[in-house]
Chains A and B, each alone.
Chain A
Amino acid sequence: MPDWEALRDAGSAIKADVLARLPELLEELERNVSARGGVVHWARDAAEANRIVADLVRAKETDEVVKVKSMATQEIGLNEALAEEGIAAVETDLAELIVQLADDMPSHILVPAIHRNRTEIRDIFLERMGDAPPDLTDVPRELAMAARAHLRRKFLSAKVAISGANFAVADTGTLAVVESEGNGRMCLTLPETLITVMGIEKLVPTYRDLEVFLQLLPRSSTGERMNPYTSMWTGVTPGDGPQEFHLVLLDNGRTKVLADEAGRSALHCIRCSACLNVCPVYERVGGHTYGSVYPGPIGAILTPQLTGEKSDLPYASTLCGACYEVCPVKIDIPSILVELRAREVELGGASPDTADRVWKAAMKAASFAMADGARFRRAARLPRVLRAISRHGVIRRLPFPGSLWTRSRDLPEPPKQTFHDWWAGREDER
C-alpha cells in the first residue's frame, strides 16, 4: 500500500473534523435519512436505546430477530434487554453464534470465538443448535456449513433485523456495514424491517470520505485488501431491501468522552482491532480479563471514559506504543493511558482489590514480551502482523492461539526483571 500513511493522516483528520462539527453533522445525517424514508431515534443511554428497539420489534409482532455483530448493541446489552421482553435475538456472525450458543462472553473484537477450539464448537453445535447434522465432524468447513444451513432458515423467515454500522455519511444519509461472512447482507437485505444502532461518533461528513475508510478498515482489521462484502444503503429503497428502516443514534457515555480534551480522540476508533493484535498485554491475558465489551488497548482507554467509573484498565499496558503505530486513525493510545493513570493517582488510585488483577497480568505480560525480544519486535511491526492474518493460510500463526485463555494456569513465572529494566532494555534494542 504505497499511500498508507497518507490514508491514515486523512482518516485521522476526518474523524477530528467529525467531532468538531458533531451536532451539525448529526442533524444533517438525520435530515438525509428522514428524507429517504428512514426514521431516526436518539438514545441518551443504554436503557433508552434498548427501550426504543424493543418497542419497534414488538410493534412488528415477532418474538425473534436476526442480528449482525455490533459492538454498540453489545455495549448496551441489547440481547439481554430483548430477552427480558420475550424477544430472542439470534446472532448470525459465526463466532457470535458460537458464543451465543455456548452462552459465553466474546474475547476478541474481531474473532470472538478465538478461545473455542473446533471440537468444542462441534460439541456446542450438536448440543445446542437443534438442527445440526448428527454426524457433524470438527472440520472447520463442515462446521461453517452447518451454521450456514442453520442460519439460512432464520434469514428466510426473519421479519426484523438489527445491525450496527461502520460508517454513516452525513451529507447523503448513507449507512455502511463492512463484513466477511455475508450474514450482514442477509440481515440488511431480507427482513422487512431493519433497525440500526449506531454510536454518534460513527459519522463521516461526506460520501467521498468512504474512499479513505474503505481502504483503512479492511487492511487494519483482517489484513485484506478488501473485505468480502460491504453493504451501503440510504434510508429505504422502494421495492429493494427492508421497507422500514430505523436508525438509533446512541450516546451512552460518548458525550462524556467528547468532553475530555485529552481523551476524546478515542472516539476516532473504527473498531478494526489492529491494536489488539499487536498488544503484548492483550496477547498474553486475552479478552476476558478486560471485563468489558471493548478489550485491548482501545478498551483500556475507552471503557473507563465511557463509564466514567474508576478503573484499573489504564494499567493494562506496557506503553510499548505498538497500538499507536498500527492504528489506522492514529489514536495516541499510550499518551491517553498515561493521562488516565495520572488521574487515577489523583483520585487515590484504582481500588486495590481489583487493581491487582490487571496490573499483575500486565506485568507478567511485560516479562513475557521481554523474555523474547524477537517476539516483542514481531508484535510491534505491522506488516508482519498483517501478513500473518492475510488470506493465504498462514493465519494460524497469529500469536494468540485459542489455548491462551487459561489465565489461572498458563501465565509465566513472575517477572525476573523489573518493568524499568525491561523498558530500558527495549529502548536499547531499537
Chain B
Amino acid sequence: MSDARTEMLSRIRTALGTSTPEPAPVPREYRSAGEHAAGSAEVLEVLVDRLVDYKAHVHRVTAADLPELLAELLAPGPGADPGRSAEGQVVGSSSDRSSDILPAGREAEVARARSSVVVPPGIEPAWLAGLADVEVLTDSREAPLSAVELDGTDAVVTAARVAVAETGTIVLDGEPDQGRRAISLVPDVHVCVVRTDQVVQTVPEAVRLLDADPGRPLTWISGPSATSDIELDRVEGVHGPRTLHVALVS
C-alpha cells in the first residue's frame, strides 16, 4: 500500500500548500495540577464521593486489615455480591446491586460453597492470606487463562497504577501487580486495591505519571460500565465487571 501512502501524504501537502496555518504554540492555561497533594484527606474524600456516585463499593482500610477485607469480599456465600458480607465497611451505595439484575438462571450459580478468584502474578501474597474456600488462579502473560476460563471465574483482585480523585478514575497499566487487561474485564467482580498515596487530584497529574511509560496498555476505569441507550434510561454493568470494589489502603 505504499502507493496509497505516497499519494495521501502528497494530497495532504498539496492541501496545506501555500495556506499552511502557522503552527501556533498551544496555550496551556488549564490546571496542570490540583491544589491538594496526592493522598491528602481532601483528595481522598473527593475520590470516595465520585466512586460512590458511580455505584462502586468503597472500603477504607489499613494495610494490616486488607487481608481480612479481601477474605470477606471474596468469600463464597449467598448472593453474587460479596459486598453484602462486608457490612459496616461499605461506604458506597449497595442498594443497586448487580445481583438484582442477574438474568434468570444465574442465581443458582452463585450459591456455591467455593468461589474462585483470579490474580495477577505480582500480587502481594500477604493480601490473600485470609482467603478460605476460595480457589486462587494466577494469570500471567506467560501462562494466561483462556477467556472462557476467566468467564468461569467469580472475581479478580488487582492493584492499580494511579487514581484521579476529581474524575473518580482508577488507571491500570498492566504491570505484574495488575495483570493482563483481560483479567480485570471478564470476571463479574473486580476488587481493586488502591494505595492512598496513589490518588492524585487531577487528570494532568495522572497523565504526567503515565507518560513515564507510555507504551503500557492502559485501562481507565470510572465506575462500572453503563449505557443510556434504551430511552436514555441509565443501566449500569453492561459489559465488564458488574460489581467494582475499591479497597483504599492507607
Name the distance in Å between A260's Cβ and chain B's nearest Cβ.
8
Q: How distant is the Cα of A98 from the Cα of B222 in the complex, in angstroms?
A: 25
Q: Does B238 interact with chain A (Cβ within 8 Å)? A: yes
Pairwise interchain contact B8-A228, C-beta atoms closer than 8 A: no
B185 contacts across to A, CB distance below 8 A: 182, 185-186, 189-190
Q: How distant is the Cα of A98 from the Cα of B147 in the complex, in angstroms?
A: 25
B167 contacts across to A, CB distance below 8 A: 225-226
Q: Does B211 interact with chain A (Cβ within 8 Å)? A: yes
B223 contacts across to A, CB distance below 8 A: 228
Pairwise interchain contact A94-B230, C-beta atoms closer than 8 A: yes
Which of the segments B13-21, B59-67, B75-83, B108-116 contacts the partner chain? B13-21
Q: Does A210 interact with chain B (Cβ within 8 Å)? A: yes
Q: Does B127 interact with chain A (Cβ within 8 Å)? A: no
B contact residues, total (Cβ < 8 Å): 84
Q: How distant is the Cα of A173 from the Cα of B231 in the complex, in angstroms?
A: 38
Pairwise interchain contact A140-B225, C-beta atoms closer than 8 A: no
A395 contacts across to B, CB distance below 8 A: 228, 232-234
Q: Which of A6-22 contact B (CB under 8 A)?
A: 6-7, 9-10, 13-14, 16-17, 19-22
B231 contacts across to A, CB distance below 8 A: 117-118, 140, 396, 402
Q: How distant is the Cα of A144 from the Cα of B226 in the complex, in angstroms?
A: 10
Pairwise interchain contact B227-A240, C-beta atoms closer than 8 A: no
Pairwise interchain contact B103-A189, C-beta atoms closer than 8 A: no
Q: Which of A184-211 contact B (CB under 8 A)?
A: 185-186, 188-190, 200, 207-208, 210-211
Q: Does B87 interact with chain A (Cβ within 8 Å)? A: no
A211 contacts across to B, CB distance below 8 A: 203-204, 206-208
Q: How distant is the Cα of A141 from the Cα of B99 in the complex, in angstroms?
A: 12
Pairwise interchain contact A19-B21, C-beta atoms closer than 8 A: yes
Pairwise interchain contact A183-B24, C-beta atoms closer than 8 A: no
Q: Does A48 interact with chain B (Cβ within 8 Å)? A: yes
A208 contacts across to B, CB distance below 8 A: 207-208, 211
Pairwise interchain contact A237-B229, C-beta atoms closer than 8 A: no
Q: Which of B15-47 contact A (CB under 8 A)?
A: 15-17, 19-31
Given A225-B166, A225-B168, check contact A140 B217 (CB 8 Å): no
Q: Does A156 interact with chain B (Cβ within 8 Å)? A: yes
Q: Mark B195-228, 1 if CB is under 8 A from A, else 0.
A: 0000000011011101100111111111111111
Q: CB < 8 Å: which of B21, B101, B144, B217 contacts A233?
A: B217
Q: Does A342 interact with chain B (Cβ within 8 Å)? A: no
Pairwise interchain contact B9-A189, C-beta atoms closer than 8 A: no
A13 contacts across to B, CB distance below 8 A: 24-27
Name the distance in Å between A131's Cβ and chain B's nearest Cβ.
11
Pairwise interchain contact B182-A258, C-beta atoms closer than 8 A: no
Q: Does A291 interact with chain B (Cβ within 8 Å)? A: no
Q: Mark A38-69, 1 if CB is under 8 A from B, else 0.
A: 00011110001000100000000000000000
Q: CB < 8 Å: which of B19, B219, B239 contacts A148?
A: B239
Pairwise interchain contact B13-A181, C-beta atoms closer than 8 A: no
Pairwise interchain contact B229-A98, C-beta atoms closer than 8 A: yes
Q: Size range of the interface on A?
A: 35 or more
Given A146-B103, A211-B207, A225-B222, check contact A256 B15 (CB 8 Å): yes
Q: How distant is the Cα of A214 from the Cα of B207 in the complex, in angstroms?
A: 10
Q: How distant is the Cα of A325 from the Cα of B247 in the complex, in angstroms?
A: 41
B102 contacts across to A, CB distance below 8 A: 145
Q: How distant is the Cα of A20 from the Cα of B24 in the complex, in angstroms?
A: 9
Q: How distant is the Cα of A255 from the Cα of B14 in the complex, in angstroms?
A: 9
Name the distance in Å between B207's Cβ and chain A's nearest Cβ.
4
Pairwise interchain contact A214-B203, C-beta atoms closer than 8 A: yes
Q: Does A234 interact with chain B (Cβ within 8 Å)? A: yes
Q: Does A331 interact with chain B (Cβ within 8 Å)? A: no
Of the listed residues B14, B174, B232, the one surrounded by the most CB atoms of chain A closer than 10 A to its CB is B232
A259 contacts across to B, CB distance below 8 A: 14-17
Residues of A within 8 A of B (CB): 2-3, 6-7, 9-10, 13-14, 16-17, 19-23, 26-27, 36, 41-44, 48, 52, 93-95, 98, 111-114, 117-118, 121, 133, 135, 140-149, 151-152, 155-156, 169, 172-174, 180-183, 185-186, 188-190, 200, 207-208, 210-212, 214-215, 222, 224-235, 237-241, 249, 251, 255-256, 258-259, 261, 389, 391, 393, 395-396, 398, 402
24 intermolecular pairs with C-beta atoms under 8 Å apart: A3-B30, A6-B28, A17-B23, A20-B22, A20-B23, A95-B229, A141-B235, A182-B240, A183-B238, A185-B181, A185-B219, A185-B239, A190-B182, A200-B8, A210-B207, A224-B222, A226-B164, A226-B168, A228-B54, A229-B240, A230-B219, A238-B141, A259-B14, A393-B234
Residues of B within 8 A of A (CB): 1, 4-5, 7-9, 11-17, 19-31, 50, 53-54, 101-104, 140-142, 144, 147-148, 151, 164, 166-169, 174, 180-182, 185-186, 203-204, 206-208, 210-211, 214-235, 237-240
Given contacts A231-B218, A237-B217, list 10 more A-B pairs with CB under 8 A: A6-B27, A6-B31, A27-B9, A113-B229, A117-B231, A142-B103, A144-B227, A225-B168, A240-B181, A255-B14
